Amino acid sequence: MKLKFHGAAGRVTGSCFLLSTEKENILIDCGLFQGSSDERGKNQEPFPFDPKKIDFVIATHSHVDHIGRIPKLVKEGFRGKIFSTHPAKEFAKIFLEDTYKLIRDQAKRKGEELIWEKEDLLKSINLWEGYNYHQIFNAGSANIEFLDAGHILGSSIVKIVVEGKTFIFSGDLGNPPVPLLEDTEKVGCADYVIMETTYGNRLHEKSEERIGELEKILKEIIQNKSVLLIPIFAMEKTQELLYEINELVEEKRIGRVNFFLDSPLAIKATRIYEKYTHYFDEEAIKKIKSGDDVFDFPGLKITTSGKDSRKIFNEKPPKVIIAGSGMSTGGRILMHEINYLSDPNNVILFVGYQVKGTLGRRIKDGEKTVKISGKEIEINAQIKELSAYSSHADQGKLSDWVKNIVEKSPQKPTVFAVHGEVEASEEFAKIISERFGIKATTPKENEELEL
């Protein structure tokens, strides 16, 4: 067997791993490269393999850095089957539709050929099959099982048993405890573990303390009559934030303030969340059964149209604007950043990972002036971060997850640290190698290993 690392090796985005057995080629994820223009330019490059020879694609979850090149795969000849959980399939459709608009506009600006067309998206969905957690199915000679990664709704750890070996592809591992989702599942024995290390060199604030930190920020916003901008990811971050703001409002822990959910994609994603409440954790299900709409509360305004979005500017502060995209790479948040980032009384709050090269990362890192939609904007607003809202496990939780596998495996597994910036992956590989006495490496992009 061979394992090849065609993305998310030495970087966070572009997840794409090829497992070749004697009988089939299985691709785990096929995501977009994101970040700087150089990173995004990699999406134009041909695949380092023949898409026609791929038999199966397994999508760990529906973030575009994991699925965004699947339509490109189809465009270039892939005709096999695509597997994921049921919610991941539904999310994939709306996220790929949104991605199509972004890549279409980008191609027009740069005079480039589109990396995939709308028809390739539709063909992809027609090849897609959904499965439940723990429902074992076959991909040729391989047995596949999805375990709950606890990262976003429908995210999975993929277990592949083939030719007498067990492979664990972590996908993105969650940061429990969080509202709505079950905790990340522990995995049994494995021979090879391919795992994310987004925060392989960092520890988050305690998840249990984050609602208190959010409460503190909101009280300051109200007292100072400020505008709070929250660049948001449409899936999971939005729903977790709404869930916890709902709690603060209903328990009267904060005063009156208007909240604007200004992201059509997040609104669509929330509707899918409402369809899959049986995937939620026990506490969330209990609240819903009691009649609580966990995603709605007094003061929340949903702005679907562009006209309604522009009207937010006329609303007097204090106000909270929750808008996409999460890394400020597009979406309605850009208009709000233009309007509000120059005022030192305002606040921008980051609740998710910011990839190197993105506007969000540049703001978070303290750049004083940035260009947004062609305009030079001075950054005078206060910059805050709540890392406990991360949907990714930190170094401690990643290490504990590996420890469970090591303890349950009759032979020590080999770990490949991927989906992280070089420093994060290398530090994590070194730590678990020393701590557990296992082989842990950081593969290079397009590296091929004979197993």
Written in H, E and C, the secondary structure of 42-79 is: HHHCCCCCCHHHCCEEECCCCCHHHHCCHHHHHHCCCC
pLDDT value of residue 37: 85
Mind listing the pLDDT tens digit for each residue in 35-61?
888 899 999 999 999 999 999 999 999
Last residue of a domain, one of 361, 389, 417: 389
The residue among 389, 420, 435 that closes a domain is: 389
Proportion of the chain above pLDDT 90, given as a percent = 93
Range 57-72 average pLDDT: 98
First-to-last CA distance in the chain?
A: 5
Residue with tokens 């206060």: 382
Own/partner pairs, 181-184, CB within 8 angstroms, 24+ separation: 181/148, 181/150, 181/151, 181/152, 181/153, 181/236, 181/279, 181/280, 181/281, 182/148, 182/150, 182/279, 182/280, 182/281, 183/150, 183/281, 184/148, 184/149, 184/150, 184/151, 184/157, 184/393, 184/397, 184/401
pLDDT higher than 80, residue 339: yes
Rounded Cα distance, 404 and 400, in Å? 6
Dihedral sign for Cα atoms in the order 123, 168, 143, 133: negative
225 and 341 share one domain: yes
Residues 318 and 422 in one domain: no
* pLDDT tens, residue by residue, 97-117: 999 998 999 899 888 899 999
Residues near 237 by beta carbon (within 8 Å), at least 6 away in sequence = 326, 351, 352, 389, 391
The SS3 of residue 120 is helix
pLDDT number for residue 206: 82
The reported pLDDT for the residue numbered 389 is 87
Do 359 and 431 belong to one domain?
Answer: no
Length in residues, the chain: 451
Q: What is the pLDDT of residue 403?
A: 98
Can the peptide bond before residue 318 be classed as cis, meaning omega within 30 degrees of 0?
yes
Question: Is 246 in a helix, a strand, or coil?
Answer: helix
Helix (H) or strand (E) holding 58: strand 56-58
What integer pLDDT is reported at residue 388 of this predicted model?
84
Local structure of 350: helix, strand or coil: strand
pLDDT tier at 448, thresholds 50, 70, 90:
very high
Tokens coding 153: 């709704």
- Whole-model pTM: value is 0.92
| Same domain membership, residue 293 and residue 330 | yes
Which of 373, 389, 405 is a domain's end point? 389
Strands 347-350 and 382-385: parallel
Q: Could you please report the per-residue DSSP string of 197-235?
A: -TBTT--PPPGGGHHHHHHHHHHHHHHHT-EEEEE--TT
Which helix (H) or strand (E) segment holds residue 3: the answer is: strand 2-5
SS3 assignment, position 309: helix
> Which strand (E) or helix (H) includes residue 375?
strand 375-378
- Amino acid identity, residue 328? S
How confident is the model at residue 270, as a pLDDT?
96
Sort strands 81-85 and 2-5 into parallel, antiparallel or unpaired: unpaired
Q: Is 85 found in the same domain as 43? A: yes
- The answer on 74 and 185 residing in a single domain is yes
Same domain, 191 and 235: no
* pLDDT at residue 164, as a whole number: 97
- The per-residue pLDDT for 71 is 99
Domain that holds residue 302: 207-389
Q: Are residues 385 and 401 in the same domain?
A: no
CB 11 within 8 A of CB 39: yes
- pLDDT, residue 110, reads 86
Q: How far apart are CA 301 and CA 280, in angstroms?
A: 24
- Please indicate, yes or no, whether residues 183 and 219 belong to a single structural domain of this protein: no
In this structure, are 264 and 239 located in the same domain?
yes
Residues in contact with 109: Cβ distance below 8 Å, sequence separation at least 6, in sequence order? none
Q: Is the pLDDT of residue 208 over 80?
A: no
Question: How many domains, in total, are found in the chain?
Answer: 2
Q: Does 396 share its domain with 323?
A: no
Question: The domain spanning residue 220 has which CATH number?
Answer: 3.40.50.10890
Per-residue model confidence as pLDDT tens digits over 261-291: 999 999 999 999 999 999 999 999 999 999 9
Mean pLDDT over residues 381-391, rounded? 92
d(CA 65, CA 11): 11
Please give the DSSP secondary-structure letter assigned to residue 70.
Answer: H
Q: Give the containing element (helix H, strand E) for 148.
A: strand 142-148
Confidence of residue 406 (pLDDT cuts 50, 70, 90): very high
Residues 241, 347 within the same domain: yes
Could you give the CA distance from residue 36 to residue 44 in angstroms, rounded to a whole number?
Answer: 14
Q: What per-residue confidence (pLDDT) applies to 106?
A: 86
Per-residue pLDDT, 209: 84
**What is the CATH number for 69?**
3.60.15.10
The residue behind tokens 């939609």 is 373
pLDDT class of 75 with cuts at 50, 70, 90: very high
Is the pLDDT assigned to residue 207 strictly greater than 80? no
User: What residue type is assigned to position 98 of the chain?
Assistant: D
DSSP 36: S
